[in-house]
Chains A and B, each alone.
Chain A
Amino acid sequence: MIVNWFRYASPVSFYPLAGRLARGFGALAAVFAAIGLWIGLVAAPTDATQGDAYRIIFIHVPTAWMAMIVYVAMAFWSAVALGLNARLSAMMAQALAPTGALMAALALWSGAFWGRPTWGTYWAWDARMTSTLILLFLYLGVIALRQAIDEPRRADRACAVLALVGVVNVPIIYFSVRWWNTLHQGSSISLTAAPKMAMIMLAGLLVMTAAAWCYCIAASLTRVRAIIVERERGSGWVASLIGIGTSP
């Protein structure tokens, strides 16, 4: 079967597709979260050195990963929007920012409540923590910049430039634990080495990461649907969507 993907570059055909996808990913997120929480809070044993405080890993690491991944996705759609002058891509970038900001805030918050019992402090100006805080500020900057510009297409371009400039921060976060030897520990999981944790803990972490992926996809697609209606309400197809004939 040949699918004409460009068909979905138009808000008219993307709107219903996004709705179906959002429901599917939302349901998947709920299933993964239920399994992941059961593994993380019940099935996985208490850690030998950290006690039960280590269980914060099951939300801290997935939210921190998603904060970075959502930013890269936002920068990607911003680049497409700038390069191809594509309206829907800009809306997608716009839809990703609040969920990304939320993930960054949750990573910082859960990290603080993990740092206190294990490191003795809620916050330190450690390289990874500071660069993640900058990530949160970049998200908030993109959101604020859009609010400050009345004309949506101008806002698209300005936000796209800011998102693309800020993407340099993502590798800084990722490699911060290698480049600077400060408080935050190194990665427990990498593609090149065996994971430094028990199988059941790794399983819980991966299932919770799947839940976080699905949740972010569902939230962003739900938001982009609202954005499409907000921005395209002058068009005929939105009129038929809300059950009103196209005005002359």
Chain B
Amino acid sequence: MTSFFEMGGYAWYVWMAYGAVAAAVVAETFALRRRGRRALATARMVREAGGDADMHAIDSGGAR
């Protein structure tokens, strides 16, 4: 098992490359989930505030 992680002496290079991809995929997945939730929450707030006239005030609060 240790020999697997050692990657024949290339552990630093192999795991830096694979680790970055894993981190990026996890980060993007969470960011997308949050963006979808925020978009719906903002749409709800805008509705409840009475429409898009007040949109900019809510916009500056987040939902990017």
Residues of chain A touching chain B, judged by Cβ–Cβ distance below 8 Å, are 41-42, 46, 51-53, 55-56, 59-60, 63, 98-99, 102, 105-106, 109-110, 113-114, 116-117, 215, 219, 222-223, 225-227, 229-230, 233-234, 238-239, 241-242, 244, 247
Give chain B interface residues in 23-58, CB to chain A under 8 Å: 24-25, 28-29, 32-33, 35-36, 38-40, 42-44, 46-48, 50-52
A56-B13, A102-B28 given; 18 more Cβ-contact pairs under 8 Å: A52-B8, A53-B8, A53-B14, A55-B14, A56-B14, A56-B17, A109-B17, A109-B20, A222-B32, A223-B32, A223-B35, A225-B36, A233-B39, A234-B52, A242-B44, A242-B47, A244-B44, A247-B51
Q: How far is the CA of A41 from the CA of B8 in the complex (A)?
A: 12
Size of the chain B interface, CB-CB below 8 angstroms: 34
Residue pair B16, A238 in contact (C-beta under 8 Å): no
Describe B's contact surface by its main secondary structure.
helix
Which residue of the partner chain A has the closest CB to B9? A51
Contact B18 A59 (CB under 8 A): yes
Given that A226-B32, A234-B52 are contacting pairs, would A52 and B10 also be in contact in the complex, using a CB cutoff of 8 Å? yes
- Tell me, in angstroms, the Cα distance from A59 to B44 when the chains sit together: 40
Q: A-B contact count, CB below 8 Å? A: 99
Q: Give Cα A113 to B14, complex, Å.
A: 7
Residues of A within 8 A of B8 (CB): 46, 51-53
Contact A52 B17 (CB under 8 A): no
CB neighbours of A109 from chain B (8 A): 17, 20
Q: With the chains together, A25 CA to B29 CA distance in Å?
A: 13
Determine the distance from Cα of A219 to Cα of B33 in the docked complex, in whole angstroms. 10
Q: Do the beta carbons of A233 and B42 come within 8 Å of each other?
A: yes
Taking beta carbons and an 8 Å cutoff, which residues of B are in contact with A? 4, 7-10, 12-14, 16-18, 20-21, 24-25, 28-29, 32-33, 35-36, 38-40, 42-44, 46-48, 50-52, 63
List, in ascending order, chain A residues with CB within 8 A of B12's CB.
Answer: 113
Task: State whether B10 touches A233 (Cβ < 8 A).
Answer: no
Residues of B within 8 A of A102 (CB): 24, 28
Inter-subunit contact B9/A230 (CB<8 Å): no
Q: Are B7 and A110 in contact (CB under 8 A)?
A: no
Cα distance, A247 to B9, chains bound together (Å) = 65
Which residues does chain A contribute within 8 Å of B14, judged by CB atoms? 52-53, 55-56, 113
Contact A244 B51 (CB under 8 A): no
Q: Of residues A56, A60, A105, A239, which shows the largest number of chain B Cβ atoms within 10 Å of its Cβ? A: A56
In the complex, what's the smallest C-beta–C-beta distance from B20 to chain A, in angstroms?
5
CB closest chain-A residue, reference B25? A215
List the B side residues contacting A215 at CB < 8 Å. 25
